[in-house]
């Protein structure tokens, strides 16, 4: 790891320590409050009304889309084959699907990848291998190009680190480098707006600048490009604290380290795998290494959509 990588890691470690101390204080306050409330008569709460809104499709048929870390490329296929109605007429040439592995490694790790890639290429989708998400700005093929959407489903550093804090840090470094490298590849325009969204409030009543929606709405056409990151909404993934790091990136600890741009959280929404026909998440280690596709138990999949701040 170079000086820049070490500087970012050091900054994230400092932020991680501060966050831990803050969580300990918050937890102590919550326990004290719970103890006080336990002596009072509990009030009955109304059950939330079942949602009747449709799953969110964050793309439109006119979008140019860059897919990162595709694994077996089944999500790219789902955009052009049996896609949601909003994407029925998307030109396959608008989609650039990439994988971190080389083409040979990809076919070795994911048994169905060769057939899927052949279909994508036949339809006109651009397929690229050996694409490092943390170095998108260094790829000659991408020089001068910009996209409406840059999407990464279930990113993971894939280092099999057993220590939880080190594992969290490794993935935070990966995502922060990805956000920095992606900034120059996003289309320029006004900040996008999403209708039907609502602000989420944190437990401590501080308003979090997060728009939550479960409506079938894409962001504004003609607005600045956005980044979509989908993760399991359960530990350890929630401990990566990606929304907060994107909004408030840690300052570099050395002058030679490039700083991360600040992002705005446009919204977050539940990611429904079932609307993407044929999509199957594949773990970084692949099928031949007993990759089962499991990314945490319980909870939901959730997508966070970001755009660059002014």
Q: Residue 72: what pLDDT?
A: 97
Q: Which residues contact 283 (CB under 8 A, 6 or more apart)?
A: 156, 158, 291, 292, 293, 294, 295
Walk me through the domains of the chain, giving residue ranges and CATH numbers: 56-308 (3.40.50.150)
Q: How many CB atoms lie within 10 A of CB 296?
A: 15
In angstroms, the Cα distances linking 73 to 5, 32, 59, 94, 281 are 29, 49, 17, 15, 9
Burial class (CB in 10 A: 0-12, 13-18, 19+), 253: middle
Q: Is 221 helix (H, G, I), strand (E, B) or coil?
A: coil
Q: Residue 170: what pLDDT?
A: 94
Low-confidence ranges of the chain (pLDDT < 50): 202-207, 288-293
* Distance (Å, whole) CA 266 – CA 149: 13
Bridge-based pairing of strands 149-153 and 226-232 is parallel
* Distance (Å, whole) CA 133 – CA 63: 20
Bridge-based pairing of strands 65-68 and 301-308 is unpaired
pLDDT tens-digit series, residues 69-126: 999 999 999 999 999 999 999 999 999 999 999 999 999 999 999 999 999 999 999 9
Q: Residue 158: what pLDDT?
A: 78
Q: Residue 24: what pLDDT?
A: 60
Q: Structure tokens of 141?
A: 């093929």
The terminus-to-terminus CA distance of the chain in angstroms comes to: 31
* Distance (Å, whole) CA 247 – CA 55: 25
Q: Structure tokens of 234?
A: 């359960």
Q: Structure tokens of 43?
A: 């009030």
Nearest to 188 by CA among 236, 222, 233: 222
Q: Structure tokens of 97?
A: 């699907």
φ, ψ of residue 301 in degrees (nearest 5) = -90, 140
Q: Which residues contact 28 (CB under 8 A, 6 or more apart)?
A: none
Nearest to 127 by CA among 77, 87, 175: 77
* Distance (Å, whole) CA 231 – CA 17: 23
Q: Structure tokens of 168?
A: 């969290």
* Distance (Å, whole) CA 46 – CA 162: 41
In angstroms, the Cα distances linking 42 to 28, 31, 205, 286, 304 are 21, 16, 20, 49, 35
pTM for the full model? 0.81
- Crossing angle, helix 3-37 and helix 164-182, to 10 degrees? 120
Alpha-helical regions (H) of 138-198? 164-182
């Amino acid at each position: 790891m170079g000086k820049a990588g070490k500087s970012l890691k050091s900054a994230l470690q400092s932020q991680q320590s501060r966050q831990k101390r803050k969580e300990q204080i918050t937890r102590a306050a919550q326990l004290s409050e719970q103890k006080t409330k336990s002596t009072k008569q509990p009030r009955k709460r109304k059950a939330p009304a079942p949602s009747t809104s449709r799953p969110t499709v964050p793309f439109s048929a006119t979008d140019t889309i860059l897919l990162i870390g595709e694994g077996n490329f089944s999500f790219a296929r789902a955009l052009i084959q049996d896609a949601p109605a909003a994407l029925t007429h998307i030109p396959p040439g608008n989609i650039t699907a990439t994988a971190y592995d080389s083409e040979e490694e990809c076919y070795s790790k994911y048994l169905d990848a060769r057939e899927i890639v052949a279909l994508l290429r036949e339809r006109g989708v651009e397929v690229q291998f050996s694409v490092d998400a943390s170095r998108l700005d260094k790829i000659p093929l991408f020089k001068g190009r910009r996209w409406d959407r840059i999407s990464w489903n279930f990113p993971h550093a894939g280092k099999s680190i057993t220590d939880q804090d080190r594992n969290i840090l490794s993935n935070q470094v990966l995502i922060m480098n990805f956000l920095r490298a992606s900034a120059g590849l996003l289309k320029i325009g006004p900040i996008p707006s999403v209708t039907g969204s609502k602000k989420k409030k944190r437990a401590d009543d501080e308003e979090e600048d997060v728009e939550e929606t479960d409506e079938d709405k894409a962001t504004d056409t003609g607005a600045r490009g956005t980044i979509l990151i989908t993760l399991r909404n359960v530990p350890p993934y929630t401990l990566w604290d990606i929304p907060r790091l994107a909004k408030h990136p840690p300052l570099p600890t050395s002058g030679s380290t490039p700083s991360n741009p600040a992002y705005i959280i446009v919204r977050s929404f539940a990611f429904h795998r079932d609307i993407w026909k044929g999509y199957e998440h594949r773990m970084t280690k692949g099928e031949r290494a007993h990759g089962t596709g499991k990314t945490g138990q319980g909870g939901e999949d959730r997508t966070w959509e970001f755009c660059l701040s002014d």
